[in-house]
Structures are given as structure tokens and as C-alpha cells.
């Protein structure tokens, strides 16, 4: 073969080798270093003769030398794991057989940059190859069920492969048809062909829907990275996505109790640590930890943990404020005198203190406003601080044989407003009834109290009203699940209707009916005084809305009771549906499915007109014992109305929901006004000259021998105004008693 033919062959050979370089660059982005494809290309370049290499260099530019690869190199194995590609890094040093000639020395200005193998990443990083089912973890190749696919601009990955690599737990709920993955306490739920997935129960929108492809469940990659806080980077040059997984464990702890005293408190350290990717905590390290701190001050305690991969967490530190040792309180009180007559008021002043400034609770023994037997009397006070240390102080006073006031006179003069004292209740029916004039105001009362004890979901009452309307609700949940009550207003007109709340009171949920009713009337009277309940709701034609929403902002547990009393005004007729349903249900969706509940035959429901009763007393009261009777259906008649659900007549027994506006125009000087129940226990407030007076301050007033102090006039005749409305759960009738006060004596 002549020289011209040899030269032509050499040129053609090197031209083919030069054209193979771009193909290698492309395949390097998709295959790990050391694969058979890359080896064959590099081998083709490195085995050219020196003369051919020089000729090719002159035509195509500099060719980088490459390592020699054994002819026995195999193609990529089909198993899911292969050897680490880092074992076959390309070298810039020619192999022994390269024997490059000087004239073919590569020029740095033209040599292509050395590429990092696609599978190479930092510790704890997962590499996903674009448009490929290959992924690398710590240099090891793994194969997913399907390649990472871009669909409508969204990168989707096979969820099972991610589960295996990222250390997630995967389950499938056949009932809800959800694929569930969990990691470190986080829960993600996916549904096929849905862009909505839930993260710890919260619905979230993905960039694209999850879908099935060839029995492989695919989800948007960002749905996992965002929900689990996994940072990632995109390498467009090598067409790969690199996820940085949490490799360090996390250490955490809390300290109990909240207050720690030097030399006294044993500190309890409660650890809460976690490891990622299936690792476990195998070791821990403390710095600054002490079980008992001897001296007060600030101490920093640090805690670290090591996982089964020998990774230590970052230290977690807590600064502990160690307080000075707690000092016991000092109990102390004074009396305005050391010796008293029988029935003489005793003024006691508590002057207890605590060296640490703690709030103190007090407990008295034998304390009284006055004593009615002669002799020495021991009074004791015990105070306790917030840490349980206590102190007791005792003082002995002397009661002489001299009488200042009898017990009956003392009670009339000195028992505080709202407190209870005992009377001879059998005498009260013989007292004169005060004369008065009565009128009414046009407000419609919708009373829902039957069935008071509710055993099933349903509509307990429903009525349509316009203008001034009072809605009174009192019911008990006797079901086994949590329930809610709603007042749902419906506008069946062709015009918008506006509902204005004027005053409103609510009590509960509690399991004590009298306490619930008392609270609802207390807050109702407060809203009258403060004007704080005003609110407007507009209903479009055909629209329904829950109104008086305080009632449905609470959940009624089994056995609990709620009470509501609200005054509203509507410019068009509005239908009010009072319902009790399961706490998890939507009231507007549930309302059309509900049945009307039957009355219980004991309690009351109905619609009653003219529910404000105006009572005016113009005669003088207080010069002699007298009484005003309310709610007895004799002197004070029940309101008459209709049960809208049955169409039958109804009588408002006890006149619950009626607001009595009482004006006593001439109350004598030095008059005592009290509330005396006649039908049983009573517990509820009244508004007296603009002030809320509890009847009583604590507990309940019992019929017929107890009464609660409401008001005392001074040395001049005056007008007294009382607003009273019976509290649900209490008993009617009641008497308002008026009696002259005994003259006060010099002490």
C-alpha cells in the first residue's frame, strides 16, 4: 500500500474519531462514567497511531487524551444496582499505549472542560436523571419503575422509587382510594388524576395531577420536595435533579417544671429526638446538665444525639433560669377592734404578703360579719402561694354581753348586695301585694325549650316573624356524640331582608342548667347596658344563613346545656329554624333533611306576642313589708301564644323570655329590696338602677326561707328601676320584697 493511500486512511480514521466527541459529551449526561458506550469512544480516540493523530489534529483541532479501557469492558448491567461510577473516573493522563507525538500536544485553550460524572454528588444527595429511570444515591445506581417524565411542563417521578430512596413509608387506603406516604410525622395523600393532595390534612394544589402509567404511580416531584422541605437543584448541563436529603439527626428536649428553684427543684429533662431515612438514635451527649442546680442564675444546657449512621446532630440548647429558693408567705390580718358587742359589724383587713410576690389564695376559719354569742372568738386565716407553701395566722377577739343588733336587723342592714340571708319564708304570703299598672310592648317571643333534653338530630322549633323578635333557646344534648345548635334564618321574600341584633346573651355549654341560664341572662343584661350586641345580617331572596352565631361557635358534648336569649329586628318576615345536629355537619346542607322533633310534654315552646311587660308602681313602698309577685300565673298571668309546629295553643309557664321593666316611682327612705324564690331554687341576675346584681353572688337562692339582697335606699325617697327576666333552669314564681330597714346605732 503506497504512502498516499496510508495518509488518506489516517485522515478518514481521525475524522471519524473527531466526530465522535460530541456524541460522548451527550452520553455523559445520561450514563455514569465507566460505561461501555463511553469507553468505546475514548478507546477509538486513544488507539489511533501517532501520525494519524497528528494529521487529525491539524484538521479538527486538539483531541484530549483518554485512559485505556480494557476490551473486556461490559455494557451497563440490567440489575437495579451497579458498582459506584466513581471507580472509573476519566483521566487526563494518556495510557502507556497512547505514545503521543510532540506535535500533537493538546492546547489548553481548546481542550473541552472535564465533566463530573452524572452520578457523583455529595453525601446524602439523591440524583435523578431527566428523561431517564436512573437515579443515584451515594454513587450507587438505582432504576425507577418509569423514567422521570415532563408532562405539560411538570416533572413527574415514580412515587415508589422516591419512597425507597428518600426513606418514606408508603401505604394505600382502598376505602378512600388514596396513596399515602409518611416521613418524620408528615403525611401526604394522593389520588389518581387529581391535582389536589393533602399535607397533614390540609388540601394543597399541585402543579399537575398524579396519574398511573404502566402500573406505576407518578406524582409531580415538587409535591414531595415542598411538602417535606427537601431542597433541590437542577443541573441542566448534565440533565439531572439533585435532592439534598436530611442526613443529620435532630436533637430536642424540654425542661420541667416551668419554675426551677436553686437547691430545691429536681429538673426533669424530656428528650424528643429523631433520625432520618430509617436510621435510629444510638447515642446522646449532654453539656451543662444538672439534676439540681445549687445556685440561682442562668444556665445553658446542650443536648446532641448520634444516629446509627454515626452522624451527630447539631447541639440543641436551652437556657434555664434558676430562681432563688421559694419563701413561704406570711399570713396576717387586722380587725378594727379587739372587742365587740353582739351584732356589731366587724371589719377585717387582710394584710398577708409573700416575699416572692406570688399571688396568694386565702382560706378563713370562723370569719363572720358579726357574732351573736358572748365570749372569746378565734378567727384564723391561711394563705397559700402558687408553689404550695402556706402560712396561718390566728387572732382572738372578745364578744361582750351587750347587744347592738339582733341577727335579723343586722342582716337587713349589712349583708352585702347579692348575698343570701335566711328569713321566715312562711310569713311572706301574708304580706301585702303592691298595686301596679301593667302594659306591654310589641315584641314577639320565640321560645324553644321543648324537648329540653334532645335525643336525636332535628328541628326543635321553627317560626316566621317580622319586626322586633326575641329568640330564647335552652336545650340539653343527650346524644352520645358532640352536637351543635344553630339558629338558621331564611328569607322567603322577593326582597332582601336585614336582621339587626339589638341585644344578646349566651351561656354554656355546661352540665348545670341553672348556671347556664344565669350566664345567658347576665350577658343579655350586659349587652343592654353596653349596647355591644348590635350586628346586621342581610339575606338575599331565598337565602339562608346561621344567625346569632355565638350559639354555633361552641360544641355541646354529651350531657351539656346551652342557653341563648337575643333580641333582633327584621324589616321583612324571616323564618327562624332552631336545630341541633352533629357537630361535624354543615347546617345549611343538613337543614332540608331534618325532621321536626316532638314536645316533651313538660317544658315549653311556642310563639308569644307582647313579650315585654311594663310594670309601674306609683304608691309608696318600703314603709311596711310588701311584695311584688312575678311569674305565678295568678297575679302575673302567663303569656298566651301558639306552638307553630303543632298549631296548638301554648301558655308560657313561668314567663321565661318575658322582660319585666319595673319602675318603683316612690321608694321610701331606708328601704331594703330583696328577691325571695317561691317555686324552688333560683339563680339569675337583675338590672337595678343600671347595675347588674346577682341573685345570688354564688350558688342559688332556695325557696322559701332564703332571700338575696338587691338594693337599699338611703335617707331620701327615690325612684328605683328594675329589669328582670327569668333565667332558664331556675324556678318561678319569685317575690320582690320591700321592707323598712331598722335604724342604725352608734357603735
Provide the pLDDT for residue 45. 34
Higher-confidence residue of 246 and 391: namely 391
Least confident range of 212-226, 463-477, 482-496: 212-226
Q: What is the mean pLDDT of residues 691-702?
A: 95
Within its chain, how far is the Cα of 99 from the centroid?
Answer: 77
Half-sphere exposure of 694 (CA within 13 A, CB side): 18
Beta-sheet pairing, 420-422 with 706-712: antiparallel
Could you say which architecture CATH assigns to the domain 250-323?
Answer: Sandwich (2.60)
The count of residues in the chain is: 747
Q: What is the mean pLDDT of the chain?
A: 84
E runs forming strands in 186-315: 186-190, 196-199, 202-205, 211-213, 216-220, 232-235, 240-244, 253-256, 260-261, 268-271, 281-287, 297-307
Is cis: bond before 300, omega within 30 of 0?
no
Could you say which architecture CATH assigns to the domain 125-244?
Answer: 2-Layer Sandwich (3.30)
Question: Alpha-carbon distance 640 to 608, whole Å?
Answer: 6
DSSP code string of 130-198: BTSSEEEETTEEEE-SS-BEEETTEEEEEHHHHHHHHT-EEEEETTTTEEEEEETTEEEEE-TT-SEEE
Beta-sheet pairing, 432-433 with 718-724: unpaired
Q: What is the mean pLDDT of residues 180-191?
A: 85
Please check the confidence at residue 102 and state whether its pLDDT lies above 60: no
Please check the confidence at residue 333 and state whether its pLDDT lies above 90: yes
The yes-or-no answer to whether 125-244 and 250-323 have a common fold is: no
Question: Alpha-carbon distance 710 to 696, whole Å?
Answer: 9
Please list the alpha-helical segments (H only) found in 541-586: none
Per-residue confidence at 92, pLDDT binned at 50, 70, 90? very low
pLDDT tens digits along 303-312 = 999 998 788 9
Provide the pLDDT for residue 117. 76
DSSP code string of 617-633: E-S-BSSS-EEEEESSS
Question: Alpha-carbon distance 616 to 270, whole Å?
Answer: 68
Highest mean pLDDT: which range of 3-17, 116-130, 393-407: 393-407
Q: What is the mean pLDDT of residues 400-428?
A: 96
Question: Alpha-carbon distance 385 to 362, whole Å?
Answer: 9
Q: What is the mean pLDDT of residues 371-397?
A: 96
Q: What is the mean pLDDT of residues 21-38?
A: 34
Provide the pLDDT for residue 96. 36
Q: What is the mean pLDDT of residues 615-643?
A: 96
Per-residue confidence at 278, pLDDT binned at 50, 70, 90? low
Q: Does the domain made of 422-440+612-740 have the CATH classification 1.20.120?
A: no
pLDDT tens digits along 723-733 = 999 999 999 99
Please check the confidence at residue 2 and state whether its pLDDT lies above 60: no
Enumerate the domain spans of the chain.
Answer: 125-244, 250-323, 333-404, 422-440+612-740, 443-608
Please check the confidence at residue 549 and state whether its pLDDT lies above 80: yes
Per-residue confidence at 684, pLDDT binned at 50, 70, 90? very high
Per-residue confidence at 52, pLDDT binned at 50, 70, 90? very low
User: CB-based contacts of 339: which residues, under 8 Å, 6+ apart?
Assistant: 397, 398, 399, 400
Provide the pLDDT for residue 116. 65
End-to-end CA distance of the chain: 147
Could you say which architecture CATH assigns to the domain 333-404?
Answer: Sandwich (2.60)
Q: What is the mean pLDDT of residues 124-131?
A: 86
Amino acid at each position: 500500500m503506497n504512502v498516499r493511500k496510508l495518509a488518506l486512511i489516517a485522515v478518514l480514521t481521525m475524522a471519524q474519531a473527531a466526530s465522535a466527541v460530541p456524541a460522548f459529551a451527550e452520553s455523559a449526561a445520561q450514563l455514569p462514567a465507566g460505561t461501555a458506550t463511553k469507553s468505546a469512544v475514548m478507546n477509538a480516540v486513544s488507539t489511533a497511531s501517532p501520525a494519524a493523530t497528528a494529521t487529525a489534529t491539524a484538521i479538527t483541532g486538539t483531541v484530549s487524551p483518554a485512559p485505556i479501557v480494557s476490551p473486556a469492558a461490559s455494557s451497563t448491567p440490567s440489575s437495579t444496582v451497579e458498582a459506584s461510577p466513581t471507580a472509573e473516573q476519566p483521566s487526563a493522563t494518556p495510557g502507556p499505549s497512547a505514545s503521543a507525538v510532540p506535535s500533537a500536544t493538546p492546547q489548553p485553550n481548546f481542550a473541552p472542560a472535564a465533566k463530573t460524572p452524572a452520578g457523583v454528588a455529595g453525601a446524602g444527595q439523591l440524583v435523578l436523571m431527566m428523561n431517564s429511570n436512573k437515579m443515584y444515591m451515594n454513587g450507587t445506581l438505582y432504576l425507577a419503575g418509569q423514567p422521570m417524565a415532563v408532562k405539560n411542563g411538570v416533572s413527574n417521578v415514580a412515587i415508589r422509587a422516591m419512597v425507597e430512596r428518600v426513606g418514606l413509608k408508603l401505604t394505600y387506603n382502598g376505602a378512600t382510594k388514596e396513596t399515602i406516604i409518611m416521613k418524620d410525622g408528615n403525611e401526604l395523600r394522593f389520588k389518581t388524576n387529581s391535582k389536589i393532595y393533602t399535607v397533614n390534612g390540609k388540601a394543597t394544589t399541585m402543579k399537575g395531577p398524579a396519574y398511573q402509567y404502566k402500573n406505576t404511580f407518578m406524582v409531580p416531584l415538587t409535591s414531595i420536595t415542598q411538602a417535606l422541605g427537601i431542597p433541590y437543584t437542577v443541573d441542566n448541563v448534565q440533565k439531572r435533579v439533585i435532592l439534598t436529603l436530611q442526613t443529620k439527626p435532630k436533637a430536642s428536649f424540654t425542661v420541667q417544671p416551668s419554675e426551677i428553684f436553686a437547691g430545691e427543684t429536681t429538673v426533669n429533662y424530656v428528650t424528643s429526638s429523631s433520625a432520618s431515612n430509617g436510621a435510629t438514635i444510638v447515642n446522646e451527649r449532654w453539656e451543662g446538665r444538672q439534676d439540681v442546680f445549687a445556685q440561682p442564675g442562668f444556665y445553658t444546657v446542650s443536648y446532641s444525639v448520634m444516629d446509627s449512621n454515626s452522624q451527630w446532630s447539631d447541639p440543641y440548647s436551652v437556657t434555664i433560669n434558676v430562681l432563688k429558693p421559694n419563701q413561704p408567705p406570711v399570713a396576717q390580718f387586722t380587725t378594727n377592734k379587739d372587742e365587740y358587742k353582739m351584732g356589731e359589724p366587724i371589719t377585717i383587713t387582710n394584710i398577708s404578703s409573700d416575699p416572692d410576690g406570688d399571688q396568694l389564695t386565702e382560706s378563713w376559719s370562723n370569719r363572720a360579719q358579726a357574732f351573736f354569742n358572748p365570749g372569746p372568738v378565734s378567727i384564723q386565716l391561711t394563705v397559700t402561694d402558687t408553689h404550695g407553701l402556706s402560712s396561718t395566722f390566728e387572732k382572738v377577739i372578745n364578744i361582750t354581753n351587750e347587744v347592738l343588733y339582733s341577727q335579723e336587723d343586722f342582716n337587713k342592714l349589712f349583708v352585702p348586695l347579692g348575698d343570701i340571708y335566711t328569713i321566715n319564708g312562711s310569713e311572706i304570703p301574708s304580706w301585702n301585694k303592691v298595686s301596679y299598672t301593667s302594659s306591654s310592648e310589641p315584641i314577639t317571643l320565640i321560645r324553644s325549650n321543648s324537648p329540653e333534653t334532645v335525643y336525636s338530630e332535628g328541628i326543635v322549633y321553627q317560626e316566621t316573624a317580622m319586626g322586633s323578635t326575641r329568640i330564647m333557646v335552652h336545650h340539653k344534648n343527650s346524644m352520645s356524640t358532640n352536637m351543635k345548635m344553630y339558629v338558621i334564618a331564611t328569607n322567603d321574600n322577593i326582597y332582601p331582608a336585614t336582621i339587626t341584633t339589638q341585644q344578646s346573651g349566651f351561656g354554656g355549654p355546661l352540665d348545670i342548667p341553672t348556671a347556664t341560664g344565669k350566664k345567658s341572662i347576665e350577658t343579655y343584661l350586659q349587652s343592654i347596658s353596653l349596647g355591644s350586641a348590635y350586628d346586621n345580617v342581610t339575606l338575599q331572596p331565598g337565602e339562608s344563613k346561621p344567625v346569632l352565631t355565638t350559639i354555633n361557635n361552641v360544641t355541646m358534648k354529651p350531657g351539656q346545656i346551652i342557653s341563648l336569649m337575643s333580641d333582633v329586628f327584621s324589616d321583612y318576615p324571616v323564618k327562624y329554624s332552631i336545630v341541633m345536629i352533629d357537630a361535624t355537619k354543615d347546617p345549611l346542607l343538613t337543614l332540608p333533611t331534618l325532621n321536626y322533633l316532638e314536645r316533651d310534654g313538660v317544658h315549653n315552646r311556642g310563639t308569644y306576642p307582647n313579650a315585654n311587660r311594663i310594670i309601674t308602681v306609683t304608691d309608696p313602698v318600703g314603709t311596711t313589708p310588701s311584695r311584688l309577685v312575678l311569674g305565678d300565673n295568678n297575679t302575673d298571668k302567663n303569656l298566651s301564644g301558639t306552638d307553630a309546629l303543632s298549631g296548638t295553643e301554648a301558655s308560657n309557664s313561668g314567663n321565661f323570655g318575658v322582660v319585666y321593666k319595673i319602675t318603683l316611682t316612690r321608694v321610701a327612705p331606708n328601704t331594703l329590696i330583696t328577691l325571695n324564690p317561691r317555686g324552688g331554687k333560683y339563680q339569675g341576675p337583675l338590672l337595678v338602677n343600671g347595675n347588674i346584681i346577682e341573685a345570688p353572688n354564688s350558688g342559688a337562692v332556695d325557696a322559701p326561707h332564703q332571700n338575696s339582697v338587691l338594693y337599699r335606699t338611703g335617707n331620701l325617697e327615690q325612684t328605683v328601676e328594675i329589669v328582670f327576666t327569668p333565667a332558664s333552669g331556675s324556678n318561678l314564681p319569685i317575690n320582690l320584697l320591700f321592707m323598712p330597714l331598722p335604724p342604725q346605732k352608734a357603735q
